[in-house]
Homo-oligomer: A and B are copies of this chain.
Amino acid sequence: MTALKNDTFLRALLRQPTEYTPIWVMRQAGRYLPEYCATRARAGSFLNLCKTPSLATEVTLQPLARYNLDAAILFSDILTIPDAMGLGLYFAEGEGPKFERPLREEWAIRNLQAPDPHDHLRYVIDAVAEIHRALDNSVPLIGFAGSPFTLACYMVEGSGSDTYKEAKTLMYSRPDLMHHILDVTTKAVTDYLNAQIEAGAQVVMVYDSWGGMLSQAAYLEFSLPYMARIMEGLTREYSGRVVPRIIFTKGGGLWLEQMAQCGTDAIGLDWNIEIGDARRRVSDKVALQGNMDPSVLFAPPAAVAAEARRILASYGKGSGHIFNLGHGISQFTPPDHMQVLVDTVREDSRQYHV
């Protein structure tokens, strides 16, 4: 094990004492940064940026050069797995991700195979390794994947959706087929995250972006159990260090108690829930990551700082809080507002760690 210069994030995830509340921000390498837009323009497309390790490394490091962040996160997309499964990921201009071959037929579902991460997903594993080297043990690197439910949803739907009509129709009409997709995808995600860990990811996060579209009964049948199986299958220690896990179900605030039992070290929170209430509900059994509304960053610096302080105070004293937004940072965020957020959290949080 090589010592990290800043392991505050790792300690907070394991609820060990820290000097301040660590912060990173979902989609911190993104379109709100002019340097990101420049690299993306050079890459030609978002997918090419994801698929070229040197460029993925470049954009991963950009926010760390600007801001005093406590973690880096692999620049990639949750849909790399379905792409590797042969669904044909593409990005229609201004329309978000789509698949050329959505999963609609029973034969196609039965034929689904978990990809070998060292084969079709080699570009991601290479990016993790290159980013890890480039970080030079400054801060931990987060690897990630989509949750089985979220991936299944996209695969069946073939694109984003407001209602997930196709995915929900399959789920309620043919739960056996939905469970089959989830089985295969769970194996794929587990192998993929373990390969990221071997390549240098020191934390792994599972994004359940669409689990919050479910009823509680459906969430407890189709989303959470598969994340629990991933937790069981993940490498717990690598290179002499525990590899902490984070799960994030957007819209999952009602189900924190159940999520806290699934084998994760931390739960990502969207901004709907008051973080102090969330902490009481999970009885400090897991760390909590979140949870400022990304829209607060549109407001003037004084309002940004005030909201950051309010959230820090709501969590209160002691370790186990990782500051973040409740969702990805908006492309319309002024970069200097992000600066105010990062600096406020770093300084104001010290009072809660004495």
A residues with a Cβ closer than 8 A to B are: 163-165, 168-169, 172-173, 212, 214-218, 251, 253-254, 271-274, 277, 291, 293, 295-296, 298-300, 303, 307, 310, 326, 330, 332
Whether B165 contacts A295 by the Cβ 8 Å rule is: yes
Whether B163 contacts A330 by the Cβ 8 Å rule is: yes
**Residue numbers in B under 8 Å from A163 (CB-CB):** 295, 330
Bound: A271/B296 CA distance, A? 28
**Residue numbers in B under 8 Å from A291 (CB-CB):** 215
**Residue numbers in B under 8 Å from A307 (CB-CB):** 172
Contact of A169 among B173, B277, B295, B310 (CB under 8 A): B295
Whether B212 contacts A272 by the Cβ 8 Å rule is: yes
Number of copies: 2
Bound: A271/B254 CA distance, A? 11
Query: Given the interface contacts A163-B295, A298-B165, does A271 sit within 8 Å of B215 by beta carbon?
Result: yes
Minimum CB distance partner of A295 in chain B: B168
Minimum CB–CB distance from A302 to chain B (whole Å) comes to 10
Minimum CB distance partner of A175 in chain B: B303
Q: Among the interface residues A172, A271, A307, which one has the most CB atoms of the partner chain B within 10 A?
A: A172
Bound: A298/B163 CA distance, A? 12
Minimum CB–CB distance from A268 to chain B (whole Å) comes to 15
Whether B168 contacts A274 by the Cβ 8 Å rule is: no
Minimum CB–CB distance from A329 to chain B (whole Å) comes to 12
Query: Given the interface contacts A164-B295, A293-B168, does A300 sit within 8 Å of B173 by beta carbon?
Result: yes
Whether B172 contacts A273 by the Cβ 8 Å rule is: no
